[in-house]
Structure 1
Amino acid sequence: MFGRKASLLLITPALTMMAVLFLFPLASSLASAFWQDAEARWGMGNFWRAWQFYSADILFSLVIVVLATALVAVLAVAIAGYLTLGESRLFVALLGWLYRWPLFIPFVVAAQLMRTFLAKNGMMNTALVELGLLTPFTTQSFLDWRGIVITFVWKQTPFVALLLAGAMAALDRATIEAARNLGAKRLRLLLDVVVPQVMPSLASGLILSFVTMMSVLSVPMMINAENPTMLTVDMAWRINAYGDYGMANALGLIAYAMTGLVAWGYLRQGLKEKSA
């Protein structure tokens, strides 16, 4: 009995922090999203207004994050696969050293870097002009939806690649060597033997990246000055310009629902595989 009370006493600070910093703000956001101040009653009014004003931004956010997640998956598999199956020790060491750098750079710093890198007269276009691949008159700015995707992919690929590289390094090398002895090429070996065995790690990394990219404010705000834009910018605008916490929280719950559906699909698939 004493041990049980001591255990409860030990976890009380953690539970208190979780209630204060997570559960209470979540409950407050839910109440604000469904409460209509103008009519002083509960309802879906904030959600209907959010869809009426920002339906294009909702779809834009979903497309941008899905596209960035797909590109992250491809690049992460390629990087982790070469780290695991690559034969050039020098290139493997160089790649292993380089790909981790974006992990230590905050999103706001990444957005500022991309503003100077992807601008019309930025570093990327200047380098292409110097190489003779473009002329000063044919350069174009990538500070639009393409810049958002590039920044998200550059920032999140190392995170997923690190998870995958660790999972691949833990695989039984006997299966890989057996496939090689049977004549499997490197690409086929990666896609048919290695990736299926690390799929849970890949899915977990992509879901975490999806949630992270959906919640970032600095990147779309600093890179994309056009419409449509992402939901985080709309939420910040509704609060700072109008003090409309109801619609801002409704937009937040819409983003939460999209990420929740992705996580639910992953969990459902995982349960099916375990039951099978």
Structure 2
Amino acid sequence: MNIMPFLLVAPSLLLVGAFFLFPLLLSVQGAFMGADGPTLAHFRTAFGLYRNDMLVTLLITGCATALIGAGSIAIGGYLTLGGSRRARAVLAWLYRWPLFIPFIVAGQSMRGFLGQNGLMNSALVGAGMPEMWAQSFLDWRGIVITFVWKQLPFATLLIAGAMAAMDRAQIEAAQNLGAGRLRVLLGVVLPQVSRNITVALILSFVTMMGVLSVPLMISGQSPSMLTIPMAWRINSLGDYATANALGVLACLMTGMVAWVWLRQAAAEKAK
């Protein structure tokens, strides 16, 4: 038996086990264990205190994921079907910038951009908009805007790359038959890259679910995303059990989204 393949993947498996699987098992154990043995009291506390935070988390990540999908499809579609070579080059160079910016830097930057006296409102007022309409976006809307701005390049790279790898003959055939760009995008391109779109959106959803810095910096309101009460239960109260329960619930939310992709992949494999 050749053990060389196992030796090659052993370092990666050890890292995954030590830094992901082992902490996950400890978190699950802490969520279900009490002083007197197994219990669901921590989950009752989590549901009782942070039910609205769970709904807000799903609302924010769901809205951001939908906007990321629409934006990445639009950018990838123009990079694939756009008529202006110069516009495609500028767009391809411009949209990637946020990809290299950490979430904490993105949150701090957007805090100065979206505030009541931030750069966005100052520019709008300077352009002639009445000052009474200037308002702060440092709430759930600001979190959505920051997530979309930060994750859009990642999703676009996956989707635009899949579009660029398509056979151009099908696109040219549809265009020769008189189909416009929008019809080619919806009828020819998207059906062939639907799996890549699903993967990009699921990865973006999972990433946003685990971000603490952006909701902490953008919005101090309650309810907020689950990462804030998790951090507060640990840092302020030392309540690891409830924080673990919230973490398990967050994992279940992301697991349901991942199940959609697994079901799609299984269906494609069956075909």
TM bucket (normalised to shorter chain) is over 0.9
Task: Name the SS for the 1:137 alignment partner.
Answer: helix
CA deviation vs aligned residue, 1:69-102 (integer Å, no higher than 9, x gap): 0000000000000000001011110000000000
| Compared CA separation, residues 14 and 159, structure 1 to 2 (3 A) | closer
Q: 1:141 aligns with which of 136, 141, 162?
A: 136
Q: How many residue pairs get matched?
A: 271
Partner Cα distance (1:10, 1:168) in 2: 33
Partner Cα distance (1:140, 1:269) in 2: 42
Matches within 5 A, 1:122-271: 122-132=118-128, 134-271=129-266
Q: 2:91 aligns with which of 95, 98, 115?
A: 95
Partner Cα distance (2:69, 2:55) in 1: 21
Partner Cα distance (1:237, 1:162) in 2: 35
CA deviation vs aligned residue, 1:108-166 (integer Å, no higher than 9, x gap): 0000010010001111001101111x222321000001000000000111111111111
Q: 1:27 aligns with which of 8, 25, 28?
A: 25
Residue 13 of structure 2 is matched in structure 1 by: 15
CA deviation vs aligned residue, 1:206-252 (integer Å, no higher than 9, x gap): 00000000000000000011111000001000000111111101101
Residue 45 of structure 1 is matched in structure 2 by: 41
1:36: how far off?
Answer: 1.7
Partner Cα distance (1:9, 1:173) in 2: 42
Q: Which sections of structure 1, spanning at least 5 residues, go unmatched? A: none
4+ residue runs over 6 A deviation: none
| Compared CA separation, residues 205 and 9, structure 1 to 2 (3 A) | closer
Could you tell me which amino acid in structure 1 is paired with residue 100 of structure 2? Answer: F
Task: Name the SS for the 1:159 alignment partner.
Answer: helix
Residue 66 of structure 1 is matched in structure 2 by: 62
1:106 equivalent to 2:102? Answer yes
Partner Cα distance (1:22, 1:174) in 2: 44
Partner Cα distance (1:245, 1:267) in 2: 31
Partner Cα distance (1:7, 1:177) in 2: 44
Partner Cα distance (1:16, 1:176) in 2: 45
Partner Cα distance (1:175, 1:15) in 2: 42
Could you tell me which amino acid in structure 2 is paired with residue 143 of structure 1? Answer: L
CA deviation vs aligned residue, 1:2-52 (integer Å, no higher than 9, x gap): x32x55444443333332222221111111010123xx2102111111000
Q: Which sections of structure 2, spanning at least 5 residues, go unmatched? A: none
Partner Cα distance (1:71, 1:261) in 2: 20
Partner Cα distance (1:260, 1:10) in 2: 29
1:178: how far off?
Answer: 0.6
Partner Cα distance (1:12, 1:179) in 2: 49
Give the alignment's TM-score, normalised by structure 1. 0.95
Q: CA RMSD in A?
A: 1.2
CA deviation vs aligned residue, 1:175-215 (integer Å, no higher than 9, x gap): 00010011111111111110111111111000000000000
1:62: how far off?
Answer: 0.5
Task: Name the SS for the 1:59 alignment partner.
Answer: helix
1:82 equivalent to 2:78? Answer yes
Could you tell me which amino acid in structure 1 is paired with residue 34 of structure 2? Answer: Q
Partner Cα distance (2:189, 2:7) in 1: 46
| Compared CA separation, residues 197 and 47, structure 1 to 2 (3 A) | same
